[in-house]
Amino acid sequence: MNRKTAAIWYITSFAGLGIVIWLVFTLGKQLESSSNIQLPESISEASFLQIVAEAIKHPLAIFILQLILIIVASQLCARLFKKIGQPSVMGEILAGILLGPSLMGALLPQFSSFVFPPSSLINLQMLSQVGLILFMFVIGIELDLRLLKQKARAAIFISYFSIIFPFCLGIGLSYFLYERFAPHQIPFYAFSLFTGIAMSITAFPVLARIIRERGLNGTKLGIIAITAAASGDVAAWCILAFIIAIVNAGSISSSLYTIIEVAAYVCVMLLVVRPLLKKLALPAEGSTVMKRSSMAIIFVTLLASSYCCEVIGIHALFGAFLAGAVMPEEWNFRKLLIDKIEDVALVLLLPLFFVFTGLRTQIGLLDDPSLWLTCSLIILVAVTGKFGGSAIAARITGESMKDSLSIGALMNTRGLVELVVLNIGYDLHILTPRIFTMMVIMALVTTFMTNPAINLINRIYK
């Protein structure tokens, strides 16, 4: 068929179609008049601008606008922080705070209330929780248990000393914070235990990025730091699960039932689920593609584990973490999973969590010099406990002064995992908005100081 024939055929077919549509509309008009159908006044008299204005305020339109704004701001800040020698996740965290009431809400209140209306926050929170579940699943997958066995002695000693020391300091700090900053309905032991664990966190994924970017992976320093952070993450999440169980149960004695349920759940995951999942790894070994049916089984396992933990009362994120940890140890299988999940979780969903955290972080609440003094005290206790505790433990195990201080600086990295823990405390009403803001600032400062501290140590010990 040549061009001329094709043009004639298209014109004829469109003309015929137009005639048929016109005839049907004409006949249909008679049916409309016979039924006395009238268009609503709001539709018949609405102008184009009114229709557009209503469409802009539609929840789906607002949500899409939120996604665009969040992703663009996160990527810009991540690129900026990478240029100044900071991990990109630091920029993403800061982007979330900048989009909250601390900056955008203060400078552009009308635009902020339009983009983030209170009615939209529940959707933002739910989707951010999905992102967190996927993120904690990836953390569990990246946890190499074989590495813990290889470097068990030094790394585990450093890890647990770096938890016990800041944990004790945090409990001591809570004594001075409780009366002024704790919610009235929260007992002292709950606030104290949570403050202790908030001081003890190391952000394993951010630490892994820093070690990779500095070329330390494979070195003795990098292996010890990664192993200590990994074992520390396991211990910290177990302690946090215990704290959540106590808070939800209302007392330590009542939490015993929850702890028994958690023990049974962990046994099922390790003794039943893990062997079954190993069968999925056999076809994937040496392959670059994973079947959809296998991915469906993995996602069901992830969601079921998260659901069980949420129902038990220790938070869905612990279930996601354990689901990742029990995945088959074959690295090719784990790498396929990470490649499938990481981009969606880290680029699209996780920034929603940063913004949701930013909306809760109100730096304007620290409107008194005494509050900034308290915030400085929290930062000092956090650095002393984690940096000092890790460095002392590394020195006791026989590491050089330079490596001991470097391990302390790396273990002091809190980043994203600290924000996850703080948001759990906020949701459980253990933290008020004011103390939540102080601890978010502490997480940012301790993470930001990691690279400069290592650079300074390298200069001193050339």
In this structure, are residues 158 and 223 in contact, taking their beta carbons and an 8 Å threshold? no
- pLDDT surpasses 80 at 212: no
What's the confidence (pLDDT) of residue 41? 52
For 236, the token pair is 């910290």
Higher pLDDT, 205 or 362: 362
Q: Which of 75-79, 149-153, 249-253, 374-378 has the lowest mean pLDDT?
A: 149-153
Higher pLDDT, 42 or 239: 239
What's the residue count for the chain? 462
In this structure, are residues 203 and 418 in contact, taking their beta carbons and an 8 Å threshold? yes
Domains, in order of start, for the chain: 93-460 (1.20.1530.20)
Predicted confidence band of residue 339 (pLDDT cuts 50, 70, 90)? confident
161-188 pLDDT, tens digit per residue, is 888 999 999 999 999 999 889 888 888 9
391-435 pLDDT, tens digit per residue, is 998 888 888 899 899 999 988 988 778 888 898 889 888 999 999
For 414, the token pair is 């809190």
Q: Which of 16-20, 27-31, 265-269, 283-287 has the lowest mean pLDDT?
A: 283-287
Q: Residue-wise over 282-310: b if at least 16 C-beta within 10 A, else e? A: eebeeeeebeeebeeebeebbbebbebbe
Q: Which of 37-41, 203-207, 246-250, 372-376 has the lowest mean pLDDT?
A: 37-41
Percent of the residues in the chain that have a pLDDT greater than 70, as a whole number: 89
- pLDDT surpasses 50 at 118: yes
DSSP annotation of 108 = -
Q: What's the CA gap between 95 and 70, in Å, rounded?
A: 8
Predicted confidence band of residue 288 (pLDDT cuts 50, 70, 90)? low
Q: Which of 237-251, 350-364, 373-387 has the lowest mean pLDDT?
A: 237-251
What's the confidence (pLDDT) of residue 218? 64
What's the confidence (pLDDT) of residue 313? 75
Q: What's the CA gap between 99 and 101, in Å, rounded?
A: 7
Which residue type does 96 have? G
Q: Looking at residues 296-306, what average pLDDT do you find?
A: 90
Secondary element (H or E) of residue 208: helix 204-213
In this structure, are residues 115 and 62 in contact, taking their beta carbons and an 8 Å threshold? yes
For 378, the token pair is 């929290």
What's the confidence (pLDDT) of residue 329? 75
Q: What's the CA gap between 286 and 268, in Å, rounded?
A: 29
- pLDDT surpasses 60 at 33: no
The pTM of this model reads 0.78
Which residue type does 380 have? L
Residue whose token pair is 């050339």 = 462
Higher pLDDT, 361 or 333: 361
- pLDDT surpasses 60 at 275: yes
Secondary element (H or E) of residue 183: none
For 59, the token pair is 């929840």
What's the confidence (pLDDT) of residue 44? 47
Judged by DSSP in three states, 304 sits in helix
With 0-12 / 13-18 / 19 or more C-beta atoms within 10 angstroms meaning exposed / middle / buried, residue 11 is exposed
- pLDDT surpasses 60 at 352: yes
Higher pLDDT, 153 or 92: 92
438-460 pLDDT, tens digit per residue, is 999 999 899 888 889 998 998 88
Q: Looking at residues 148-157, what average pLDDT do you find?
A: 65
Among 9-23, 118-132, 333-347, 432-446, top mean pLDDT goes to: 432-446
95-112 pLDDT, tens digit per residue, is 888 888 888 888 888 888
